[in-house]
Amino acid sequence: MRTFEQYQKDLYAMKPNIFIGDEKVGRDDPRILPGMLLVKETFDKAFDPKYEDLCTATSHLTGKKINRFTHIHQTREDLFNKQRMTRVLCHRVGGCIQRCMGIDALNAVSIVTYECDEALGTTFHQNFLNYIKMFQEKDLSASCASTDAKGDRSKRPSEQENPDAYLRVVETREDGIIVRGAKQCITNTPYVDEIIAVPCRMLFPDDHDYCVSFAIPADWDGIKLLARPAYFHKPKNVPEDMLPKTMDMGDVETFIIFDDVFIPNERVFLNGQADPRQTPYGGFLALLFAHYHRHSYTGCKPAVSEILASAAALVAEYNGIENKAHARDKISHLLGTAELVFAAGESSALHSEKSPSGTMIPDEILTNAGRRLAGENIYEEYKIVADLAGGLMATLPYLDTFFNEEVGELAMKYMQRNPRVPPENVLKCFKGIESLGCSDIAGLMQVAGLHGGGSPQMETIAMMGRYDLKKLKNIAKYLFGIKSSLGRIERSEIPTTPRSMLEKFRKALIAQQKREERSK
């Protein structure tokens, strides 16, 4: 396993290919460091005896101790421990831990490559096995490049006027493939080792050029990272102990351009251009990545709810209203959401199924139910914090002001609220809440809380694709006297297996094709 220092050294040795505005910079740019410091927890805690039960695992391939963020889940306990680890680490950084996207993608790849090889005689799974051994041995971090530019949303990839609106294979060679396109809304890419590319949607036979998945180093030739850093500008003339830890948090969102990038065969996990029969597996991979990532959200989103609940409880105390019924009611809403979302993920792990590849798949309905509940409540949760804190979280003077010779003492005097709480602590509290709720990172986190892993509408589609409504209606028919008998109905009748998920996906493809034919 790597230390944070080794991880950082490896990143600093990478070629500069990051564009911030009109500047081309390397990984040592100070605007990228806050994101690295966030990921630092994933390395540090793997070496901490108090956390290693959560943050490490045993590789099923080598038998070695590895960082859990490089693990392919083999048991229900693996899935649950991943969820617990995510929740615990997110507490420590004030939000998303940012290392789950890569390993969520690789768990999906482990299943889809196996299924594709079994059905079509390809060798993608062996490519994956060789890759994941290296990934674990080097303790790598990865970004999942999923969301395409998409162009005209009413058209499929092969129907676009701009054929590069979705990442595609433009040439297949004996030694590899050439890809072109872009991926948008991708978190963490400037401070990871590798990029894992997967499709982002259902693909039809005519979309075979777009059925592509692979892994490459983040500084690979032809890769251009257009970055949007979000970080805190720390004042220089303020005592370090007055700066909230939330101000250490950073994020870089990335627009990745693949400018005719060569991918060697050993790093290719799908190539529908070589064989259009692979096309359903591209959409299946998109579905499975989203599924694993939504399960990770049932770990991180409860942590975010708890962080907001913690901030709400603290500011209620400092405002002198902690025992008021309305304050307790609001805080209970935050805690209730946290526990329900986590319970959905925990139950999803409990009801997970082992795929033929050996990788565990979380329950589809429970995972999506938990993620949807989280997304539907995100803005309500921030509203609660704002309601209990008041307008000062958005209007607080700069910290420097409180240490100005002329007005600092007066400013601190009027921060006094609850007489039992020193005004310095009140200031720290409001600065921390400002960073959680009103900063550029806070705005990013709110949108990510809604859309990350898929918006609530996507969870709805996933859940309704799994439920058998015909059987469900039999309950009402029996209770209302329309049907004389009722067989035993349990949701668990439909297991979450790659074959059942792939069959559901194929049915959705056929239904979509019929709808398009009717519309023509």
Q: In this structure, which amino acid lies at residue 194?
A: E
Q: Give per-residue pLDDT as tens, 127-166.
A: 999 999 999 999 999 999 999 999 999 999 999 999 999 9
The C-alpha angle 55, 289, 13, rounded to 5 degrees, equals 60
Q: Give per-residue pLDDT as tens, 194-209.
A: 999 999 998 998 999 9
Reported pTM: 0.92
Q: What are phi and psi of 70, to 5 degrees?
A: -120, 10
What pLDDT does residue 496 have? 61
CA distances from 60 to 1, 68, 126, 342, 347 (A): 16, 12, 15, 26, 24
**Mean pLDDT along residues 38-45:** 96
Are 66 and 136 in contact by the 8 Å Cβ rule? The answer is yes
Q: In this structure, which amino acid lies at residue 416?
A: Q
As a whole-number percent, the residues of the chain with pLDDT over 90 amount to: 77
How many residues can be counted in the chain?
A: 520
Of 17-26, 188-197, 336-345, 486-495, which gets the smallest average pLDDT?
486-495
DSSP, collapsed to helix, strand or coil, labels residue 434 as helix
As a whole-number percent, the residues of the chain with pLDDT over 70 amount to: 96
* Secondary-structure breakdown of the chain: helix, strand, coil percentages, each rounded to the nearest 5: 55, 15, 30
Structural domains of the chain in order of their starting residue, each with its CATH number:
4-290 (2.40.110.10), 291-461 (1.20.140.10), 469-519 (no CATH)
CA distances from 297 to 175, 215, 216, 418 (A): 38, 23, 25, 36
Question: In whole angstroms, how large is the CA radius of gyration of the chain?
Answer: 24
CA distance 167 to 177: 12
The C-alpha angle 144, 146, 147, rounded to 5 degrees, equals 135
Which one is predicted more confidently, 219 or 242?
219
Q: How confident is the model at residue 99 (pLDDT cuts 50, 70, 90)?
A: very high
DSSP state of 193: S
Per-residue tokens: 79 = 């899935």
pLDDT averaged over the chain? 92
Q: Give per-residue pLDDT as tens, 386-424.
A: 999 999 999 999 999 999 999 999 999 999 999 999 999
* For residue 454, pLDDT beyond 70: yes
**Mean pLDDT along residues 444-456:** 81
Identify which of 47-51, 95-99, 350-354, 440-444 has the greatest average pLDDT. 47-51
CA distance 490 to 475: 11
DSSP state of 297: H
* For residue 493, pLDDT beyond 70: no
Q: Give per-residue pLDDT as tens, 356-377.
A: 999 999 998 899 999 999 999 9
Q: Give per-residue pLDDT as tens, 285-303.
A: 999 999 999 999 999 999 9
Q: Give per-residue pLDDT as tens, 220-257.
A: 999 999 999 988 877 878 888 888 887 788 899 999 99
Which one is predicted more confidently, 465 or 48?
48
Q: In this structure, which amino acid lies at residue 220?
A: W
Are 449 and 437 in contact by the 8 Å Cβ rule? The answer is no
CA distance 350 to 262: 41
Looking at the DSSP bridge assignments, the partners of residue 380 are none
Looking at the DSSP bridge assignments, the partners of residue 354 are 360
What pLDDT does residue 444 have? 79
DSSP state of 25: E
What pLDDT does residue 462 have? 78
Q: How confident is the model at residue 494 (pLDDT cuts 50, 70, 90)?
A: low
Chain-centroid distance of CA 49 in Å reads 26
CA distance 34 to 96: 13
Element (H, E) at 170: strand 168-172
CA distance 293 to 313: 30
CA distance 186 to 170: 23
Number of neighbouring beta carbons within 10 Å of residue 433: 28
* For residue 42, pLDDT beyond 80: yes
* For residue 480, pLDDT beyond 60: yes
